[in-house]
Amino acid sequence: MLPPDATALRGRLGTSGRRFLTDAALRISLGDLADATSLVAADGDGETCDELTGASVLVATSDQLATVLTLIELDGVASRLVLCPPDLAQAHLPFVIATAGIDAVVVDRAAPVRDALRGPRRLICDPAGLMPRLTPSGPGRTQAPTEWVLFTSGTTSRPKMVLHDFASLAAPISSATAIEQGAVWSTFYDIRRYGGLTILLRALLGGGSMVLSDAAEKVDDFFLRAARDGVTHISGTPSHWRRALMSEAARRFAPNYVRLSGEVADQPLLDRLQAVFRGANVAHAFASTEAGVAFSIADGMEGFPARLLDEPGPVELRVEDGSLRIRSRRAALRYLGDDAPRLAGDDGFVDTGDMVELRGDRYRFVGRREGIINIGGLKVHPEEVEAVINTHEGVRMSRVFGRKSPITGAIVVADVVAAAAEGDSLRSDILTLCRDRLARHKVPVAIRFVPSLDILPTGKLARRIA
Amino acid sequence: MSVRNVIASHFVQVAQQQSKQLPPLADDLALLNSGLDSLCFAIIVARLEDELAIDPFAASEDSAFPVTFGEFVRLYENVAA
């Protein structure tokens, strides 16, 4: 059942001329979108939006802004919106189209149409060609709730399609931070990922504006643009932020709110962000595509207070077999596909696969279950070693991984990006730090200095699984 | 430096770093009595691979783990030769 106040996205934008949506090329007033369209049929002309009523639509534009306009236009109209991430391999498209029962695809004008997208009906979204709708859309009341489908981060294997509805996506947006009239939001995430989409929805549903980032844009250029557009609230993964801190322009940018999610936010990074963005509230959130946004921690400390497990509220947390489990209305409904695994257990809890450890009165994130390195039967989470390495002020970021060993199966090694000078003295400092703070099997056997570490399109550090 | 000397220096270095008492490195020293544990050997083998660019354990699948220090050295010398 649809709640009585359910209103499609377009009906939540208001008519104010102050609120905007922008990327590096275009700036659109949100007030103009209530009765405008940017969708045209690829094989003709005329109004197309109403013809998509009840359709399952794959949004496969290369341009994020075009995706946002399509979402605004088709939420409450289409039965299903599938958000295709930019890095989705061509080979997976037929599977996606079949599994999601796609009737129509939306592409942009500039990019060539991929072969797999030539089957379904095709529409073009052209943000630069915004035009008045022939038939006014009314208040944007939903005909039926639209399903939103997102992809999980997996890059090599067949992607998992995660089914949300507007209610599960909008559920986290209730706190004071989320609804801040006049806030100008931005994120390093692509908005086709859960982490980015939640930020877009905060802007659209919370009375704010949205500045889209661009993976191809230099960090310096992005910060200059963010400062010019008056960004007040900004989010990204810890890997995004470690890279962003290398930018001089970051020092001339003064947001009110800096948010981290998607990876473990360690103490040195939180401290550095607070030092650079002095006036900002620095918060780290825990969220996953499947489990939704669980909580946000703004006390400046890594991990989360153990008492959160007992607190009543919209999100229930539990730790079982070392991993964090979450139950809430914010979780996705299910995975798409007949042979898809179950998303939650019988009791409705989603196992996040994120391992936590109780230290004192706080839980710390120690790493992903599948990332564990096995050293002759002893377990190491790469993240716990990285957290120690990253405490050294000469270190910008690090990646710890397992290297095959004929003796113990694996040994721990580390790639390190130095903040300034690298060399034997930094290497020996890092090793001393590790020996002081970690069990001996967790101390890296080799440290290699590298100029940079790859960040995946998901915003997460590219990890090698041994 | 000879392969034997490279190996010996890594034994000494790792023993020192891992706070292990290393007896004199004679050919007939049983590795089990060397005071080094499997983690120490894993580290030594990894460092030798980095320095000599050889991993005799990967090179031949059926090579049994050497029992004495002398056998350990010969294993490397044979691959290096």
Cα–Cα dist A132/A36, whole Å? 4
Q: If one looks up domain A372-449 in CATH, what number appears?
A: 3.30.300.30
Helices (H), A165-235: 166-170, 194-205, 219-228
3-state SS assignment for residue A345 = coil
Q: Is the pLDDT of residue A466 over 50?
A: no
Residue A140 gets the label, from left (phi > 0), alpha (psi -120 to 50) or beta, of left
With a cut of 0.85, is the ipTM above it?
A: yes
The pLDDT assigned to A3 comes to: 44
Cα–Cα dist A328/A338, whole Å? 24
B77 close to A (CB below 8 A): no
Q: Which one of A403, A440, A441 has the shortest CB-CB distance to B46?
A: A403
Please judge whether A446 and B46 are an interchain contact, meaning their C-beta atoms are less than 8 angstroms apart.
Answer: yes
- The two most distant CA atoms of chain A are separated, in Å, by 72
Q: Which residue of B has its CA nearest to A403?
A: B46
Higher pLDDT, A173 or A414: A414
Pick the CATH number of A9-357 from 3.40.50.12780, 3.30.360.10, 3.40.50.2300, 3.30.450.20: 3.40.50.12780
**Residues A157-171, mean pLDDT to the nearest whole number:** 89
User: A33 - beta bridge partners?
Assistant: none
- Produce one character per residue of A123-139: b if its CB has 16 or more CB atoms within 10 Å, e if not: bbbbbeebeeeeeebee
Cα–Cα dist A343/A239, whole Å? 27
Q: Which residues does chain B have with pLDDT short of 50? A: none
The model's pLDDT over A364-404, given as tens digits with 9 standing for 90+, comes to 999 889 899 999 989 999 999 999 999 999 999 999 999 99
The model's pLDDT over A409-431, given as tens digits with 9 standing for 90+, comes to 899 999 999 998 888 899 999 99
Cα–Cα dist A151/A69, whole Å? 19
Sign of CA dihedral A128, A39, A181, A295: negative
Confidence of residue A34 (pLDDT cuts 50, 70, 90): confident
Residues of A with CB under 8 A from a CB of B: 375-376, 403, 405-408, 411, 413, 435, 440-441, 445-446
Higher pLDDT, A400 or A181: A400
**Residues A249-270, mean pLDDT to the nearest whole number:** 93
Cβ neighbours for B36, distance < 8 A, ≥ 6 positions apart: B11, B14, B15, B18, B20, B22, B44
B interface test, pick of A407, A412, A434 with most B CB neighbours within 10 Å: A407
Q: Which one of A406, A413, A440 has the shortest CB-CB distance to B39?
A: A440
Please judge whether A411 and B57 are an interchain contact, meaning their C-beta atoms are less than 8 angstroms apart.
Answer: no
User: At CB < 8 A and 24+ separation, what contacts does B32-37 make?
Assistant: B32/B67, B34/B69, B36/B11
Please judge whether A445 and B47 are an interchain contact, meaning their C-beta atoms are less than 8 angstroms apart.
Answer: yes
Task: Tell me the domain boundaries of chain A.
Answer: 9-357, 372-449
Residue A71 tokens, joined: 């979402």
B50 close to A (CB below 8 A): yes
**B54/chain A closest Cα distance in angstroms:** 13
- Produce one character per residue of A233-257: b if its CB has 16 or more CB atoms within 10 Å, e if not: bbbbbbbbbbbbbebebbeebebbb
The pLDDT assigned to A41 comes to: 86
Residue keyed to tokens 């129509």: A104
Q: Which of A30-39, A151-160, A314-323, B72-81 has the lowest mean pLDDT?
A: A151-160
Q: Which of A257-266, A437-446, A457-466 has the lowest mean pLDDT?
A: A457-466
